[in-house]
Structure 1
Amino acid sequence: MTRRTAFLAFSFVVVIGLLGLQSWDLARGRIEGSALRAIEERTGFAVKSLERAEIALLPLPRISLSKVAFAQHDGAVAGEALRVRVYPRLLPLLIGRLSFNRIDLVAPQLDVAVPAGSDGVTDWLTPPLAELEKLRSQSRIVIRSGVLFLRAAGTVQSIVRDVNLVIDEREQQQPFDLSGSFTWRGVPSNVSLLWPVADGGGKAALSATSPLLKLRFEGTRTGPGEPIVNGTLALSTPSVPQLLDWFGEKSRISTALGALTLNADLQLKPREASFNNAVASLDGDRLDGVMKLTDVDGRFALSGTLAGASLDLGRLIRRLPLPAIDVADRSPLDLDGWTGRDIDLRVSVDSAKLNGARLVDVATYVLVKKGRFETGLLRASAYGGAVKARFLAVGAPAGVDVKIQAGLDKVDFGQAAADVPQLARLTGTGTFQLALDGAGRTFDELLGSMTGRSSINLRQGEIGGIALAELVRRAERNPSQLLRDWQQGKTSFDTLTANAGIANGLLVLTDAQMNGTNYQLNLTGNASLRTRQLDMRASLASLSGSLRLPLVLKGPVDAPFFDVESEAFLSPTGTTGNTMVPALLGR
């Protein structure tokens, strides 16, 4: 036997001997009572009942309590554990004094009382942490395979499963040091937290990792008084809507966002978080600026100003759950679903995409208040001109009051057609204006109430799909050639002007005219916003005055028919042709 082995054996015999000198006839009750007092003093939990207590000395001294019910003094946390193990310190035990350094809660079920109506992790954690802060000292607490029930007025708000946490031992005024894992709302997560107590300051750190979130914060907390936390934040998520949904936040506007990474200097105050020097990446589009998140009377508000090089606005809009504009849908318009949180965001970028259109020097905004939603383009340049737009929806006794404004000034439609397929058959440079105002409880009511005006003015352009100038030439030379394919080709124009008034969902042309080198086209009639049907007539005349040809434009907006009316006068001598030439507009 080596000297080292002999020494260890001798030490073991001495320890057993010292333990044997204690009065163990009285020790069981004494140790059990000491264990219960230690649990209360070192965890803040008072034991209400237990089934039995067991004491083991080897391999290390421990006290095991079975089926233990416990609660904090203020009732913030209560529960029961299948087993509670208390580990005494060895050296004090040798001289007959009990001192504990670790307490294990095995398979506990914990009930945490949270404020009624609370829906955030901060509200849920505040009561139990506040109780722990009152302790003069705290043992190392190990929670294994626990379940956490968050209750408000007896109703379960949320359940945290598979809780495996370690709260390190600390003395008064020392920070909490917590680490472990849990499963919340079906998502497994790992977390570590270093947090100073309320009356003191010091280093603060938080790390959280899950399939939906990677978060790291490092900083400091100042105290006493209202605590202020300053530090650096790094956050990333593959899906902002899924992340918010995980936290119980339902937001239709957030569906516009996809993957997000955020780095910022974070300052936390009571009910306020400021993100300074923020660098956000939305699906690869970088935005820099400042943001602030506040809680006013339980209503969250997000504000900020961001700037970047590029942004795909069209992608953001396509992700929104916008309802289809369908008069057959009689379901009520739901404005509350879009205005649940206050938002005031201003975004400026050097360039942006909007459903294929390329914009430069863009300033856009989103402004949301309870019962009010507003967004638009404050400014943008596009294809040699300027673009502005505004959409406003406000709750009203009649349902939802909607205002739409849009304007293009000196825009080259030919250049825009290369990026926007809907403009592929139209060229020219000019302006477009639209103003609409209506109110209703459904889309049918809303479209039927629309009033406003619209106008378009273009110069030196073409319309594809019809050849009106060729039609005039053929009709003047040989009326029998009228049936040939004039619905193909292009029509060049010098000016195109159309003005319309809108009342009760009906658009009525007040002045619509197109002029070319050898023709003039005048258009009159109306279009229904509800049914999206056209009912218009046109007069095509040669500039020489030898021809006046009436036409009709009818049918659905998506596929209207452009026809030559029967009884069309083809010559000044009165020759007529009784032909009807159906043609899809824009074929």
Structure 2
Amino acid sequence: MTTISRSSQEARAENLEIAPWRQLAGGALVLIVAALGILAPRLFSQATLASFIEKGACAELGAECRVSGPIHAHLLPLPAIDAQEVTLSLPDGRIAIRAAHATAELRALPLIAGRISVNHLDLEGARIDLLAPAGGMRLLTSANDAGAALLESIAAADRAGNRLTRVGIDRSRLVIRSVGAKAPMEVESFSAEIDLPRRGGEFFGHLKGAIGGEIAELHVSGPSLAEVARSEGSAVKVDALLGQNWLSYRGRLVKAPDLVAAGTLEASFPSLQHLFRPLRRFTWPPWLSDMDFHLAGQVFVTSRGVDFENSEFAVGRSHFAGGLSLRTTSDGRPSLSGTIATPLVEFADLSWLRPAEIALPAFDRLPDLDLRMSVRRVRFGSARLDEIAAGLILAKGRLDVTLSQGLETETGAKVHIVATPDAGEVAVKAQASCESLDVGTLLSSFSAHPVLTGTGGFNVSLEGRGGTLDALAHALSGKANLQVKKGVVSLPDADAEPLASVVSEKPLVASLAPALRRFSEANFAGAVENGIWKINEGWIGEGVSQIAVDGTV
């Protein structure tokens, strides 16, 4: 049996009598807090709220701002400020934002202490002007130092807390201005969601808009602040889309102590002409047909630059494999070097080209290049060349090209070309030689009925200058020699159509009926003046059957 004392019964009765008063007091307190949350912001004038934003919230973000429209503030359910016609800018002028509507969500505890701390910032109907940093590709050189400093500042802010953690943008317009672009890049219908790392978490960003009428998207996931300092690093994913062009990167980012990124990159660009169109310093040559480009391989980003290893490249119908390194010059231009190989390089029929319309490039505006390439076969329409090795060096406005044809055990053709800009034109020096050349195959590329066949060698030394390919061809001067052994010469009739584009002040041969004549040796030597080869010493055959030849080609 349980015994309840009289004192316990009296205490319970007293508690029952007091409980309703406690509930009423709690409810009244809630109503008072709600009323204060609703009415307190209304007690401040628009000028006070504007000063509160300009000197408090914007200063906390490190920006300068101005509010021209109405302002509304509320404390419930979360402290926030809504403002219209807001202008924000960074002191260095890199970013300027004019938003039709801006909402800043504030943290409650710092607000009670009289300090502004913006947690989320949302912009709507904004025009965002972004000035790309000057220096071009030089940013790659210092990307790790700057990136490491940026990552450290974000980590320090995350440890301190009370910072901006999310930015939302909707129905806005992004304008990116750059020194190297023909015109600013404009992104219409721009929207973005950016989450900065919190408590060692990872970065997340999703941007979407329209560029030139094409849908553009950028999705970034990672890195994680807690994992990036570990030996294995943090996972990073990047996906970019522009119309039919796309890029995908999967890798890891590690800070040890500099930032190093390693992963795989895949990219596809169906139209290179369309891709390079926005660049101010590059104009797609009208004589060059458009091509697609594909890339897949391993990519490493370090303080030195970007390295592509075990990569495969496809340009049009030609496929390349090898490694490339992207660096930067002292004046900010990209510098590309490496070694690649391909089984086949195909060019369309070049007979339709008009040399007068092909302008020679200004080498000082092009990227620096140091490339080595080996090609098993090159096709020009119906003609072909096998076993080509090429070296290309472009540095300090000087182009140096070396070509060799044939296996190492054979003696093939060799070409060396040096080109430099000269008073708005291009000065060229070229040397070419070969000890084993199929003359008939070479001439068949220019005529269906070659006038000369056989195996021989040549030696050519030329120089000239011009602004177009046609002007350069008509300005070349130098020497040219051709020796042919064991061949056949076609001796045309005087009234017949010429079998080759040969123009001579004297007939090629005199008093000979049209015939095919075999010979054991032929030699042609002369000087080149203004693009015309003047043969001043030429003969075909030996002994009494020897034929003297002179003329111009």
Q: What is the TM-score when the length of structure 1 is the normalising length? A: 0.68
Q: How many equivalent pairs are there?
A: 486
Residue 348 (structure 1) shift: 0.7
**CA offsets per residue over residues 402-434 of structure 1, 9 Å max, x none?**
122223332334456677656644321222222
Residue 355 (structure 1) shift: 4.5
Distance in 2 (CA, whole Å) between partners of 1:434 and 1:247 is 38
The corresponding residue for 1:570 is none
Residue 227 (structure 1) shift: 2.2
The corresponding residue for 2:191 is 164
- The answer to whether 1:190 aligns with 2:217 is yes
- The answer to whether 1:227 aligns with 2:254 is no
Amino acid in structure 2 at the alignment position of 1:227:
L
Residue 467 (structure 1) shift: 6.3
Describe the shift of the 1:130–1:146 C-alpha distance in structure 2 as closer, same or farther (beyond 3 A).
Answer: farther
- The answer to whether 1:291 aligns with 2:335 is no
Amino acid in structure 2 at the alignment position of 1:287:
F
Select the residue among 282, 288, 308 that pairs with 2:342.
Answer: 308
1:65-464, aligned counterparts within 5 Å?
Answer: 65-72=83-90, 74-86=92-104, 102-116=120-134, 118=136, 133=154, 135-136=157-158, 137-150=163-176, 158-162=184-188, 163-171=190-198, 174-184=201-211, 187-196=214-223, 201=229, 202-211=234-243, 213-223=245-255, 226-248=258-280, 250=282, 258-270=291-303, 272-297=305-330, 298-312=332-346, 314-315=347-348, 324=355, 334-336=360-362, 340-380=366-406, 386-396=412-422, 400-414=426-440, 421=447, 424-439=450-465, 450-464=476-490
Kindly indicate which of the two structures has a greater share of residues assigned to strand.
1
1:418-567, aligned counterparts within 5 Å?
Answer: 421=447, 424-439=450-465, 450-464=476-490, 466=492, 486=513, 490-502=516-528, 507-515=533-541, 519-525=545-551, 527=552
Residue 117 (structure 1) shift: 6.3
**CA offsets per residue over residues 181-206 of structure 1, 9 Å max, x none?**
12345543111123548995533222
Residue 300 (structure 1) shift: 1.4
Describe the shift of the 1:214–1:504 C-alpha distance in structure 2 as closer, same or farther (beyond 3 A).
Answer: closer
Distance in 1 (CA, whole Å) between partners of 2:353 and 2:250 is 39
Q: Decide whether the 8 Å contact of 2:477 with 2:530 is kept in 1.
A: yes
**CA offsets per residue over residues 367-411 of structure 1, 9 Å max, x none?**
2123222324133359x9622222221234695331222233323
**CA offsets per residue over residues 143-174 of structure 1, 9 Å max, x none?**
11222334579x99624322211112532654
Describe the SS at the equivalent of 1:386: coil
Distance in 2 (CA, whole Å) between partners of 1:150 and 1:295 is 22
**Which stretch of the first structure deviates more once superposed, 99-108 or 75-84?**
99-108
Query: Which of the pair has the greater relative contact order for Cα pairs under 8 Å at 6+ separation?
Result: 2
> Please, which runs of 5 or more residues in structure 2 have no aligned partner?
1-26, 495-510
Amino acid in structure 2 at the alignment position of 1:275:
F
**CA offsets per residue over residues 532-553 of structure 1, 9 Å max, x none?**
xxxxxxxxxxxxxxxxxxxxxx
Distance in 2 (CA, whole Å) between partners of 1:46 and 1:172 is 28
Distance in 2 (CA, whole Å) between partners of 1:156 and 1:440 is 27
Describe the shift of the 1:35–1:177 C-alpha distance in structure 2 as closer, same or farther (beyond 3 A).
Answer: farther
Describe the shift of the 1:283–1:68 C-alpha distance in structure 2 as closer, same or farther (beyond 3 A).
Answer: same
**CA offsets per residue over residues 449-491 of structure 1, 9 Å max, x none?**
64322122223322347269xxxxxxxxxxxxxxx9955x644
Describe the SS at the equivalent of 2:276: helix
Q: What is the TM-score when the length of structure 2 is the normalising length? A: 0.71
The corresponding residue for 2:3 is none
Describe the shift of the 1:120–1:58 C-alpha distance in structure 2 as closer, same or farther (beyond 3 A).
Answer: farther
Distance in 2 (CA, whole Å) between partners of 1:442 and 1:270 is 40
Residue 336 (structure 1) shift: 1.6
The corresponding residue for 1:474 is none
Q: Decide whether the 8 Å contact of 2:138 with 2:333 is kept in 1.
A: no
Q: Decide whether the 8 Å contact of 1:43 with 1:139 is kept in 2.
A: no
Amino acid in structure 2 at the alignment position of 1:310:
L
Residue 56 (structure 1) shift: 7.3
Residue 522 (structure 1) shift: 0.7
Q: Percent identity?
A: 21
Q: Decide whether the 8 Å contact of 1:492 with 1:516 is kept in 2.
A: no
Distance in 2 (CA, whole Å) between partners of 1:213 and 1:55 is 44
Distance in 1 (CA, whole Å) between partners of 2:34 and 2:424 is 87
Describe the shift of the 1:367–1:390 C-alpha distance in structure 2 as closer, same or farther (beyond 3 A).
Answer: same
Distance in 2 (CA, whole Å) between partners of 1:235 and 1:173 is 31
> Please, which runs of 5 or more residues in structure 1 have no aligned partner?
1-12, 469-483, 528-556, 558-587
Distance in 1 (CA, whole Å) between partners of 2:245 and 2:28 is 54
Describe the shift of the 1:178–1:121 C-alpha distance in structure 2 as closer, same or farther (beyond 3 A).
Answer: farther
Distance in 1 (CA, whole Å) between partners of 2:468 and 2:278 is 32
Distance in 1 (CA, whole Å) between partners of 2:428 and 2:301 is 38
Distance in 1 (CA, whole Å) between partners of 2:316 and 2:266 is 16
**Which stretch of the first structure deviates more once superposed, 415-424 or 43-52?**
415-424
Residue 510 (structure 1) shift: 3.3
Select the residue among 14, 20, 23 that pairs with 2:34.
Answer: 20
Distance in 1 (CA, whole Å) between partners of 2:182 and 2:40 is 44
Amino acid in structure 2 at the alignment position of 1:164:
S
Distance in 2 (CA, whole Å) between partners of 1:69 and 1:389 is 62
Q: Decide whether the 8 Å contact of 1:497 with 1:512 is kept in 2.
A: yes
Distance in 2 (CA, whole Å) between partners of 1:46 and 1:194 is 30
Q: Decide whether the 8 Å contact of 2:356 with 2:471 is kept in 1.
A: no
